[in-house]
C-alpha cells in the first residue's frame, strides 16, 4: 500500500502483511487525517478528495485489525502516565 505520510512528509510504500505496528500506526494516522472531509456532503469536491484515503484506511483496517487495538493501548498508556499520582476525585 502506498500513502503520503503526514509525519515524514513523503510518499511511503508498506506491505500490509509484514509491516510493524509502528509503521501501520503512521499509515493509519496519515490516512485518517487525509480522509477527513470535515462533514462535507457526499459527492462534493471535499468528499471526493477524501474518499480515496478513506478507502485505503478501510483496506488497512480490514487487513490488519490489530492496529486499532494497538492505538487504543498506546492512548491508554499515555493517559495513565499523564494521570499517574494525581488525585482525580479530589479526596
- Is 56 domain-assigned? yes
Determine, yes or no, domain membership for 91: no
Task: Measure the CA–CA gap between 81 and 75, rounded to whole angstroms.
Answer: 10
Residues 1/27, Cβ–Cβ less than 8 Å = yes
- Our count of domains for the chain comes to 1
Largest CA distance in the chain: 53
Domain that holds residue 10: 2-83
- Tens of pLDDT, residue by residue over 48-74, are 999 999 999 999 999 999 999 999 999
What pLDDT is recorded for position 71? 93
pLDDT at 76: 95
Helix (H, G, I), strand (E, B) or coil at 4: strand
Residue 73 lies in a domain: yes
Q: Is residue 64 part of a domain?
A: yes
77 sits in which H/E element: helix 66-83
Give, as one character, the DSSP assignment of residue 40.
Answer: P
Residue 90 pLDDT level (bands cut at 50, 70, 90):
low
Average pLDDT (6-20) is 90
Asked whether residue 90 is assigned to any structural domain, the reply reads: no
Specify if 31 maps to a domain: yes
Amino acid at each position: 500500500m502506498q500513502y503520503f505520510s503526514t509525519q515524514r512528509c513523503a510518499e511511503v510504500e508498506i506491505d500490509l502483511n509484514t509491516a510493524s505496528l509502528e509503521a501501520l500506526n503512521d499509515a493509519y494516522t496519515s490516512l485518517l487525517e487525509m480522509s477527513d472531509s470535515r462533514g462535507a456532503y457526499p459527492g462534493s469536491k471535499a468528499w471526493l478528495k477524501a474518499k480515496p484515503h478513506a478507502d485505503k484506511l478501510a483496506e488497512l483496517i480490514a487487513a490488519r485489525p490489530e492496529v486499532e487495538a494497538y492505538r487504543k493501548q498506546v492512548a491508554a498508556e499515555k493517559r495513565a502516565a499523564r494521570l499517574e499520582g494525581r488525585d482525580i476525585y479530589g479526596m
